[in-house]
Every structure is written in C-alpha cells, then in structure tokens.
Amino acid sequence: MALSPRLVLASGSPRRLELLAQAGIEPEQLLPADVDETPERSEHPRSLARRLARQKADRARFVLAERDELEGRLILAADTVVAVGREILPKAELEDDAIANLRILSGRMHRVFTGLCAIGPGSDRHRLRVVESRVRFKRLSREDMDFYIASGEWRGKAGGYAIQGIAGSFVVRLIGSYTNVVGLPLYETVSLLGGLGLDIHGRTRAPVPETAAT
C-alpha cells in the first residue's frame, strides 16, 4: 500500500477549511491562489467555476514546485459561482454590490456551481468536477435587505450571501448539495480525494487508476 499523500488546499477560505474538518480531513498546508476571477466574454457560470478551480490548482502546483515541496502532495482547489440564468453575480466587496445581488436573488431561483480540481502526487493530470445546486430565495423586504447588509455576512461571498448564516432564513427551497452552496460539496470532494489516495478513513490506500478527462 502506498502512503497517503499530504493534502494542500489551494484556498484561504475558512468555510472550506471548516467543511473539510467536518469530514475529518485536515490539510497539511493552505496555499491560497491569487487568480483573476473575471469571467471571460459570454462565459457560462459552470465553465467559469471549472476554469478558476483549475487555474487555482495550477497556481498552487507552480508554487510548490518552486519551493521543491511538490513531492507527495495532493492539491485541491475550488471555486464557487452564483448565477441567475447566465448572469454571474459578483463576489460582494462593497455594499452596493451586495444590495444589487440581493435584489436580483429576491423571490427567484438561482444556481450555485462549485468547481473542484485535484492534482495527485507526481502527476500533471487534473481531476475536475463541477457540482450544481439550485436555491430559491423568498421575496426579500427592504427590512430583510437592510438587516442583512448591516450584518456584514455578505463580504467576499459569491453572490453576496452565506447560506450558513442569516441568509439561510431566506431560502425557500434548495435542490442539491447544501455544502456545495456553503462552498465545498463534501460528498464529491471526499470521493475525489479518496480516489487519489488520501487517507480519509484512518488507513492508507493506493490511488485508483486515473480515468477523468483533463
């Protein structure tokens, strides 16, 4: 049996770290990847999530190679995109962004896409997944919006909200993975990492043959 690889998470997101901990997985190190998250012209939200996850994984791999720390490392990267139809909602950094997002989301169904990209130890091959969930918000009153803006929970969040906080009370319906909406779909993530040989059950295992397309 091969030794379990050491996991590097190409993200500084506390939410993703907490979700991995929930599954009993602790990365050896965090290596946030700074990439331009601007959508390309006419880019579909699903394609954006997939592309950014791959770019983040590649960036982390480059940094590890430069440090001569690549050997035995399994890299995981993720990116979450919120969209209404084909309209991609920005991460909210300013109150105006958050208010605009809430107005679009109010009373409507939207989709949350999380792209996952993993690169196994000693490999240039990418394993990619995109997970989709659908969420419907209630019709938000002005008081709802003002209260949420005052909370500050929207800062830096895809689509301008965090479902694990106050915005959870806005959700009328959710179809798909809840943890995907938080920022890391746990079932798919654990399956992906386990397939690349990560010790997820307290024992070592060899990676399964790679079959996913790059």
Residues 179-201 pLDDT 10s = 999 999 999 999 999 999 898 87
Q: What is the pLDDT of residues 125-182, one digit of tens each?
A: 899 999 999 999 999 999 999 999 999 999 999 999 999 999 999 999 999 999 999 9
Q: What is the mean pLDDT of the chain?
A: 90
Is 112:80 a contact under the CB 8 Å cutoff? yes
Domains of the chain: residue spans and CATH: 6-195 (3.90.950.10)
SS3 sequence of the chain? CCCCCEEEECCCCHHHHHHHHHCCCCCCEECCCCCCCCCCCCCCHHHHHHHHHHHHHHHHHHHHHHCCCCCCEEEEEEEEEEEECCEEECCCCCHHHHHHHHHHHCCCEEEEEEEEEEECCCCCCEEEEEEEEEEEECCCCHHHHHHHHHHCCCCCCHHHCCCCCHHHHHEEEEECCHHHHHCCCHHHHHHHHHHCCCCCCCCCCCCCCCCCCC
Does 48 score more than 60 pLDDT? yes
Does 55 score more than 60 pLDDT? yes
Strand partners, 178: none
What per-residue confidence (pLDDT) applies to 60? 94
Active-site residue set: 79
What per-residue confidence (pLDDT) applies to 3? 62
CA–CA separation, 129 vs 148, rounded Å?
A: 32
